[in-house]
Amino acid sequence: MFTPKYPPQDTAPPATAPAATVHTPVPVQPSAPAPAAAVSNRSTVQLTPGSALALAAGGGAVVLVVGAVLVSLLLAVAITGVSVAVVAVVLRGLVNDLHKGR
């Protein structure tokens, strides 16, 4: 199946053969045939419409859960950043008041 298929060789004699050239053929080692692929003893998984639907629903649920977790983490980081910014503004105001001597 995976072996290359070559066209048959030309058997016609050459039209003009050089008379003075001596050609010595190179001996060709016969190649061993490729080993056949091993047959697997594992059974293939066949999906019925019900199991395919269950698999799609499970995958969708996983996507929704992972998305919810990532969005909640993003919100936590955003809320933390805003609160740190508010604290920084308040502290800056307090430090400025201390320097002015109020």
Q: Could you report the per-residue pLDDT of 44-93, keeping only the tens digit for each?
A: 778 788 988 999 999 999 999 999 999 999 999 999 999 999 999 999 99
Q: What confidence tier does 2 reach under pLDDT thresholds 50, 70, 90?
A: confident
How many domains does the chain contain in total? 1
| Assigned domain for 97 exists | yes
Q: What is the pLDDT of residue 89?
A: 97
Q: Say how many residues make up the chain.
A: 102
Give CA–CA dist 55/42, Å, rounded: 21
Range of the domain at 101: 71-102
| Assigned domain for 100 exists | yes
Does the predicted model carry a pTM greater than 0.75?
no
| Assigned domain for 42 exists | no
| Assigned domain for 81 exists | yes
CB 3 within 8 A of CB 35: no
| Positive or negative: CA dihedral 73, 76, 81, 84 | negative
Q: What is the pLDDT of residue 46?
A: 81
Residue 8 has pLDDT above 70, yes or no: yes
Q: What confidence tier does 4 reach under pLDDT thresholds 50, 70, 90?
A: confident
pLDDT tens digit sequence for 22-45: 667 777 776 767 676 666 677 777
| Assigned domain for 85 exists | yes
CB 2 within 8 A of CB 34: yes
| Assigned domain for 82 exists | yes
CB 17 within 8 A of CB 25: no
The HSE-up count of residue 36 (CA atoms within 13 Å, CB side) is: 3
